[in-house]
Amino acid sequence: MYRAHTILSTRATLAVALLLVPAAFVYASESTDLPAGPPEYSMPAFCFAPGTPPDVVARASERAGRLYEKSSLTPPSTLKFEIANRWSYTATDGGGLSQGDPTTLTWSVVPDGTSIGSGVGEPAGPSNLRAFLNGIYGDEAAWLAVFQQVFDRWSELTGITYVYEPSDDGATLSGLGGALGLRGDIRIGGHSIDGSYGILAYNYYPNNGDMVIDTSDSFYNDTSSNSLKLRNTVAHEHGHGLGLAHSCPISQTKLMEPYLTTLFDGPQHDDILATNRSYGDRFEDNDTSGAAAPLGTFGSTTEANLSIDDNTDTDVYGFIVDAGAAVDATITPMGATYLSGPQNGDGSCSAGTNYNSLIVQDIEVRVLDMNGSTVLAAADLNGVGQPEVLDDIALSSGAGTYYVEITGDATDVAQLYRLSMTVSPSNQIFTDGLESGGTETWSSSVP
Ligand SMILES: [Ca+2]
Ligand SMILES: [Ca+2]
Ligand SMILES: [Ca+2]
Ligand SMILES: [Ca+2]
Ligand SMILES: [Zn+2]
C-alpha cells in the first residue's frame, strides 16, 4: 500500500510487470545488460497476468534484483510506503519538482520500427505496437482514444496534466528525456515479450516512464467493456511510470497489485492516495487565495478525492456569489481501514498490515472574505476522521468571489477529503431586519 512503514525491497523496486496466466512462460534470456541511459532511468517494472506461477514471478524478480545491483544505485533511502519515486523533471515543467508538486507530462507513441531493448529479459526488437493495435481496433484514432481515456482518468484524480505529443522521433526506447515537439516524457511502444499470458507489459519508473506492451499477447484482443483489459493494463503500467511500486496483498482492490484484474475500472483508493501524495490533488497549486481553485458559480457542488498531501498543504477554493448570499461548507475525510504492504523480494505479495486512511489529518475549514484574508468563520471542532461543518455563513461584503480554505495538521502523510458546498440567497430574506431583532421585533413587524 502506500503507507506501511516498510522500505520496498530492492528487487520489488526495480522491476515490475503485469503477468497473466501460466501458459508456457519462459524467459527468453537471462541477460543482465542494462538499458542505455542514466541508471535511474533503467529500472523497469513488469506486471503479471492473473494466475502467473510463482516461479515465473520469482525469476522475473530475481532479474530485477540483479539489474538493480548492476546499476550501482544505492537503495533509495527515501522510499516511502509503496511510492518508489516521482518525476523531478519533465519537458514542460523543467527540473526541481518534488513531493506534492503538480506536474505536466507529455506522452507519445513510438513509430513502428523504433528499437526496444531487452527490458525484462525478452529479445530486443523493433516496436510493432501501432500495427498490432491497428489490427485490433482498425485505425489509430480508435486505440489512441483508449490511451487518452486512461490519462484523462489519472488526470481527474491527481495534480497531473497530460498532453499528447503527436511527434516521436523514433529514438531507441528508452531512457531519453522528453522534448517538446520531439518526443513525449512518456513513450509507449511494444514488441513481443513472452506470448500470451505471463508478462503483459512493463514500465520504467520516473524520470523515464516509458512503457512496453507485449504485442505477442492475445490478452489485448478482448476489447469488451470499452477495452477494460487494455485500459487497466495501461493505467497500471503508467502507475509505475508515476513512481508507484506494487501494492499488496492481492485482494483485487488496488490497481497497483502485481496481477492485473478487471474487477474494477482504473485507479482505486490506495492508488489515488499514493498519487495525491506525490503530485497533489487535481486543483493544485491552490495554496493561497491568490491561487485559489475557481469553482465558479453554483447552487450546490461536491468535489471528491481532494487531498491535504502533506504537513504544509493548504487548499483554497474560490466561489462567486450574488449580493446577500450565505454558504454552507462541509469537509469530510475520505478513507477506510484496509490491508496494505509491499511486494516481497521474490515477487510474492506480503500479507500487509492494517492501515486506516480515514484518520490521518485533523482537518480545519475557514470561509474567507472577498479580500482573501479576513476570516468570516472557522471550524475545527472535531478530530481526525471527522468532518468539519460551517453552516449558513453570511457573505456580507456583496457580490463577488469568496473563498473556502482547508488545512490539515503536522502529519506528513496524505489525507483524501470531500468538499461539499451550498450557496443560498437565504440571508437576503433577513436583510430587511425581520430576523435581526428577536421575537419582539418580529412580532411588531407583522401586521
Ligand atoms: Ca505475455
Ligand atoms: Ca491539496
Ligand atoms: Ca494546495
Ligand atoms: Ca478538525
Ligand atoms: Zn506492475
pLDDT single digits (tens) 392-405:
999 999 999 999 99
Closest ligand to the CA of 361: 4
- pTM as predicted: 0.84
Assign 393 to helix, strand or coil. Answer: strand
- Classify domain 10-279 by CATH number: 3.40.390.10
Q: Which is it for the CA torsion 316, 319, 325, 330, positive or negative?
A: negative
Report the Cα 192 to chain-centroid distance in Å. 28
What value does the mean pLDDT of the chain take?
A: 84
pLDDT score at 433: 46
pLDDT digits (tens, 9 = 90+) for 81-120: 578 889 999 999 999 999 999 999 999 999 999 999 998 8
Burial of 308 by CB count in 10 Å (0-12 exposed, 13-18 middle, 19+ buried)? buried
Q: Confidence band (pLDDT; 50, 70, 90) for 43?
A: low
> Which residues have their alpha-adjacent CB atom under 5 A from ion ligand 3?
286-287, 313, 315
3-state secondary structure at position 444: helix
pLDDT tens digits, residue range 307-340?
A: 999 999 999 999 999 999 999 999 999 999 999 9
pLDDT of residue 65: 54
How far does the centroid of ligand 3 lie from the alpha carbon of residue 118, in Å? 41
Name the closest ligand to CA 414.
Answer: 2
**Cell 544505485 sits at which residue?**
73
Q: How far is the CA of 427 from the centre of ligand 5 (A)?
A: 54
Report whether 84 contacts 8 (CB < 8 A).
Answer: yes
Beta bridge partners of 422: 300, 328
Work out the pLDDT band at 260, boundaries 50, 70, 90: very high
The per-residue pLDDT for 73 is 39
Q: Where are the domains of the chain?
A: 10-279, 289-430
On the question of pLDDT at 359 being above 60, the answer is: yes
CA–CA separation, 382 vs 176, rounded Å?
49
Q: How does pLDDT run across 420-445, given as a tens digit for each residue?
A: 999 998 544 444 444 444 443 333 33
For ligand 1, the distance from its centroid to the CA atom of residue 205, given in whole angstroms, is: 20
Q: What is the pLDDT of residue 202?
A: 94
- Nearest ligand, measured from the Cα of 12: 5
Contact 193, 199 (CB under 8 A): yes
The secondary structure element, H or E, covering residue 55 is helix 54-70
- What is the total residue count of the chain? 447
| Burial annotation 156-195 (CB, 10 A radius, 16+ → b, else e) | ebbbbbbbebeebebebbbbbbbeeebbbbbbbbbbbbbb
Task: Report CA(231)–ligand 5 centroid distance (Å).
Answer: 14
- Assign 49 a pLDDT band (cuts: 50, 70, 90): confident
Q: Are 35 and 175 in contact (CB under 8 A)?
A: yes
CB-based contacts of 1: which residues, under 8 Å, 6+ apart? Answer: 81, 82, 247, 248, 254, 270, 274, 338, 339, 340, 341, 352, 355
**Which DSSP string corresponds to 196-257?**
SSSEEEEEEPTTT--EEEETT-GGGG--HHHHHHHHHHHHHHHHHHTTB--EES--S--TTS
Of the ranges 5-19, 72-86, 277-291, the best mean pLDDT one: 277-291
Cα–Cα separations (whole angstroms), residue 391 to 197, 301, 314, 377, 381: 55, 15, 21, 9, 13
| Predicted pLDDT at 2 | 44
State the ligand closest to the CA atom of 282. Answer: 2
Output the nine-digit C-alpha cell for 293.
Answer: 481553485
- What pLDDT, on a 0 to 100 scale, did the predictor assign at position 61? 63
Burial 78-90 (b: 16+ CB within 10 A, else e): ebbbbbbbbbbeb
Counting Cβ atoms within 10 Å, is residue 401 exposed (0-12), middle (13-18) or buried (19+)?
middle
State the DSSP H helix or E strand holding residue 269, giving kind and residue range, or none if neither.
helix 269-279
CATH topology classification for 289-430: Jelly Rolls (2.60.120)
14, 68 Cβ separation under 8 angstroms? yes
- The more confident residue out of 380 and 31 is 380
d(CA 241, CA 236): 9
Dihedral, CA atoms, 256, 262, 264, 270, nearest 10 degrees? -10
Question: Which residues, at least 6 apart from 316, have a Cβ–Cβ distance to it below 8 Å?
Answer: 286, 287, 288, 289, 291, 292, 293, 368, 403, 404, 405, 406
- Are 11 and 206 within 8 A, CB to CB? no
Ligand nearest to the CA of 202: 5
* All residues at 6 or more sequence positions from 55 whose CB lies less than 8 Å from its CB, including other chains: none
- Answer yes or no: are the C-beta atoms of 267 and 153 closer than 8 Å: yes
309 Cα–ligand 3 center, Å: 8
Torsion angles phi and psi, residue 293, rounded to 5: -75, 125
Report how far ligand 3's centroid is from the alpha carbon of 304 (Å).
15
